[in-house]
Amino acid sequence: MRIVLVGPPGAGKGTQAVRLAEKLGIPHISTGDLFRANISRQTELGKLAKSYMDAGNLVPDEVTIAMAKDRMEQPDAENGFLLDGFPRNVSQAEALDELLRDEHMTLDAVLDLEVPEEEVVKRIAGRRICRNDSSHVFHVTYSKPEQEGVCDVCGGELYQRDDDSEDTVRKRLEVYHTQTEPIIDYYKAQELVVTISSLGPVDEITQRALEALKREKAGK
Ligand code: AP5
């Protein structure tokens, strides 16, 4: 399957993407994680991305699309992928459509995670991620690691993302509403959008998502 995951910062995209990708046997491709890996390796792309990310803005389309395309062309993505955080505006959505058309491929669904803004703020304030791999995500209250400050998956140090400060989160939410939300209408016109609530226990949301994707597939 080829799926796009969309939702505001803190909706639980990363948390759900890891689980859904495993259940569906497809790679989880997160542009945020790819940027953070570049930042920790101190590449030129990482240095450029950091300045935009720390301000809560989108990284320019040209570099983002090239990076996403490169990742989607890796052999493990041949039979499908779960995109998390890409596309993030209408021009990226158009670029993705073009890329898929060139490869004679189509998207199967756009999974839209709905969550109220006050919940987003609580989730982001308590989020801690792993220095070794930013897809290892915890929360100080909702998803506590066994040992405080230590990643359950790999033993890495847990830290708070630089862009999780209150001011930057407010900016990221504004960017989400103005630039990312319009892609939902873009994909509604293609009858691809499946909306689910992202409230409740993590495993229940995964189940909800799998059932919604199954219904979507059966209805085609
Ligand atoms: P990115 O890394 O994609 O961040 P985001 O979209 O803002 O989303 P988040 O990672 O903040 O939240 P999430 O929905 O993944 O939530 P999570 O599962 O962690 O992007 C960061 C930046 O990179 C952007 O601002 C931009 O600058 C740049 N960028 C990335 N892609 C780009 C693109 N395509 N174009 C341009 N720029 C781009 O969950 C949050 C917390 O809640 C966690 O602590 C988790 O444990 C907890 N939680 C999760 N589910 C639940 C639940 N059900 N109940 C209680 N707690 C929960």
Q: What is the CATH number of the domain that holds 176?
A: 3.40.50.300
Could you tell me the distance, in angstroms and rounded to a whole number, from the CA of residue 7 to the centre of ligand 1? 9
Could you tell me the distance, in angstroms and rounded to a whole number, from the CA of residue 13 to the centre of ligand 1? 6
Strand bridging mode 127-130 / 81-84: unpaired
- Would you give the distance in Å from CA 33 to the centre of its chain? 8
Ligand 1 within 6 A of CB of 50: no
Ligand 1 within 6 A of CB of 115: no
For residue range 138-185, list pLDDT tens digits in order: 999 999 999 999 999 999 999 999 999 988 999 999 999 999 999 999
* 51 found inside a domain: no
Tell me the β-bridge partners of 158. 130
What confidence score (pLDDT) does residue 166 get? 86
Query: Is 161 flagged in the annotation as binding?
Result: yes
Q: Which amino acid is at 181?
A: E
Query: Is 215 a known active-site residue?
Result: no
CB 186 within 8 A of CB 164: no
Q: Rounded to 5 degrees, what are φ and ψ at 139? A: -140, 140
In a structure prediction context, what are the per-residue pLDDT tens digits for the chain, which is 220 residues long? Answer: 999 999 999 999 999 999 999 999 999 999 999 999 999 999 999 999 999 999 999 999 999 999 999 999 999 999 999 999 999 999 999 999 999 999 999 999 999 999 999 999 999 999 999 999 988 999 999 999 999 999 999 999 999 999 999 889 999 999 999 999 999 999 999 999 999 999 999 999 999 999 999 998 888 7
Residue from 57, 82, 122, 137 whose mutation best tests the ligand 1 pocket (most atoms within 8 A of CB)? 137
pTM over 0.85: yes
* 148 found inside a domain: yes
For atom 48 of ligand 1, which residue has the closest CA? Answer: 12
* 84 found inside a domain: yes
CA distance 8 to 174: 10
Could you tell me the distance, in angstroms and rounded to a whole number, from the CA of residue 81 to the centre of ligand 1? 18
What confidence score (pLDDT) does residue 24 get? 97
* 52 found inside a domain: no
Domains identified in the chain, total number: 1
* 189 found inside a domain: yes
Ligand 1 nearest-atom number relative to CA 128: 44
CA distance 96 to 207: 27
Upper half-sphere CA count for residue 166 (Cβ side, 13 Å) = 2
* 213 found inside a domain: yes
Domain extent for 156: 2-27+74-218
CA distance 87 to 67: 12
* 203 found inside a domain: yes
Q: What share of the chain is helix, strand, coil (3-state, %, to 5)?
A: 50, 15, 35
Q: Rounded to 5 degrees, what are φ and ψ at 57? A: -95, 165
* 46 found inside a domain: no
